[in-house]
């Protein structure tokens, strides 16, 4: 990935894998760091997010934005866009965000991105990231992994994306689920070059 470009706008996408909390926690940290954020969730991602967190992102974008900001305590700089809206800037290389994170990333979404299929905004925006050589992070949460999953992850990595599985470590002695979530979110921030203190590093 080419990280030389200054990043001030990040697209965070939530797909239908379990682990919506990772995406919401990432939004909190990115907002705190001062980034402009565009958020989208696939249809299945909206369903899973609602089941896991109680947050409904399925209404019109303005209502979804207000609900997201209220639940996370965010003020300004955040906009939710519909998963089928291909007229937003993220769908075009001429107005693409500086980076994109799909968290969590379902294996179906990963496979379609790896295959160059752009059936919704998440897949199209990911395709834009790859062709524009901008940071694209995919955070799958699946186990066990089939040969198809592994081959797709290898393929998308060779295309320039970063595959960062939601695999929390334990050397920092986590005491809560929040500690485990923060470890994965911290790893995402590391890849984006964002300073944080979400977990203690090895040897600290």
> Is residue 46 included in any domain, yes or no?
yes
Residue 108 is labelled as binding a ligand: yes
Compute the distance between CA of residue 170 and CA of residue 168 in angstroms, rounded to an integer. Answer: 7
Residue 58 is labelled as binding a ligand: no
> Is residue 11 included in any domain, yes or no?
no
Looking at residue 58, the DSSP 8-state letter turns out to be -
> Is residue 198 included in any domain, yes or no?
no
Residue 176 is labelled as binding a ligand: no
Query: Can you give the pLDDT at residue 202?
Result: 86
Compute the distance between CA of residue 53 and CA of residue 76 in angstroms, rounded to an integer. Answer: 22
Q: Is 189 helix (H, G, I), strand (E, B) or coil?
A: helix
Q: Is 36 helix (H, G, I), strand (E, B) or coil?
A: strand
pLDDT in tens, the chain (204 residues): 444 568 999 999 999 999 999 999 999 999 999 999 999 999 999 999 999 999 999 989 999 999 999 999 999 999 999 999 999 999 999 999 999 999 999 999 999 999 999 999 999 999 999 999 999 999 999 999 999 999 999 999 999 999 999 999 999 999 999 999 999 999 999 999 999 999 988 887
Query: Can you give the pLDDT at residue 200?
Result: 87
Residue 17 is labelled as binding a ligand: yes
> Is residue 201 included in any domain, yes or no?
no
Residue 33 is labelled as binding a ligand: no
Residue 77 near residue 101, CB atoms below 8 Å: no
Query: Can you give the pLDDT at residue 5?
Result: 64
Element at 87 (helix H, strand E): none
> Is residue 155 included in any domain, yes or no?
yes
> Is residue 56 included in any domain, yes or no?
yes
Residue 52 structure tokens: 């896991």
Residue 44 is labelled as binding a ligand: no
Compute the distance between CA of residue 113 and CA of residue 147 in angstroms, rounded to an integer. Answer: 17
CATH of the domain at 53: 3.40.50.1950
Compute the distance between CA of residue 199 and CA of residue 204 in angstroms, rounded to an integer. Answer: 10
> Is residue 172 included in any domain, yes or no?
yes
Residue 22 is labelled as binding a ligand: no
Residue 92 is labelled as binding a ligand: no
Query: Can you give the pLDDT at residue 59?
Result: 81
Give pairs for 156-161: CB < 8 Å, separation 24+: 156/110, 156/113, 156/114, 159/114, 159/130, 160/1, 160/130, 160/133, 160/136, 161/1, 161/113, 161/126, 161/129, 161/130, 161/136, 161/137
Q: How many domains does the chain have?
A: 1
Residue 184 lies in domain: 18-192
Residue 42 is labelled as binding a ligand: yes
> Is residue 187 included in any domain, yes or no?
yes
Give the pTM. Answer: 0.95
Query: Can you give the pLDDT at residue 2?
Result: 43
């Amino acid at each position: 990935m080419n990280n030389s470009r200054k990043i001030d706008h990040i697209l965070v996408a939530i797909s239908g894998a379990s682990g919506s909390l990772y995406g919401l926690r990432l939004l909190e940290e990115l907002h705190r760091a001062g980034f402009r954020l565009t958020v989208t969730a696939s249809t299945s991602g909206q369903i899973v997010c609602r089941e896991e967190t109680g947050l409904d992102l399925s209404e019109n974008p303005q209502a979804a934005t207000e609900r997201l900001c209220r639940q996370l305590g965010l003020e300004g700089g955040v906009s939710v866009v519909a998963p089928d809206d291909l007229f937003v800037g993220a769908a075009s290389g001429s107005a693409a965000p500086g980076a994109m994170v799909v968290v969590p990333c379902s294996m179906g979404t990963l496979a379609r991105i790896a295959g160059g299929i752009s059936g919704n905004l998440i897949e199209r925006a990911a395709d834009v990231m790859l062709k524009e050589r901008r940071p694209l992070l995919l955070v799958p949460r699946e186990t066990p992994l089939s040969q198809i999953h592994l081959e797709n992850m290898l393929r998308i990595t060779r295309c320039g994306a970063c595959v960062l599985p939601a695999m929390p470590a334990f050397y920092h002695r986590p005491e809560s689920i929040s500690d485990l979530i923060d470890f994965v979110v911290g790893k995402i921030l590391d890849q984006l070059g964002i300073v944080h203190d979400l977990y203690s590093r090895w040897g600290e």
